[in-house]
């Protein structure tokens, strides 16, 4: 997660998504400056996450691209996960 949300706020929002995908989600929260710094430093975690499928709780691919300046892989939207849909797998 990138932004101002607290870990508690994020965890409460993810419980429905976890149930729909059948596995736990282990979020990491970064401020925007911290995200940019880690990305510029070649963080293996961020590189892997950015290349993989994503669930956007707030915002979208365009916003994340603007923050990180990167091209992102196809995403899995929260709306499709919350409705029980398969998303963009």
Of 39, 33, 32, 29, the C-alpha closest to 1 is 29
What's the rounded Cα separation, in Å, for the pair 36 and 60? 17
Residue 77 CA from chain centroid, whole number: 10
pTM: 0.60
* Mean pLDDT per 10-residue segment, the chain (89 residues): 79 83 86 88 88 78 77 45 41
Predicted pLDDT of residue 70: 58
Boundaries of every domain in the chain: 7-82
């Amino acid at each position: 997660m990138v932004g101002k949300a607290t870990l508690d706020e994020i965890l409460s929002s993810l419980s429905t998504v976890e149930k729909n995908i059948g596995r736990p989600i282990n979020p990491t929260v970064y401020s925007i400056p911290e995200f940019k710094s880690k990305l510029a430093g070649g963080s293996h975690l961020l590189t892997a996450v950015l290349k993989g499928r994503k669930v956007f709780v707030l915002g979208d691919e365009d916003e994340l691209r603007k923050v990180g300046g990167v091209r992102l892989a196809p995403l899995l939207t929260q709306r499709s996960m919350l409705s029980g849909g398969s998303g963009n797998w």
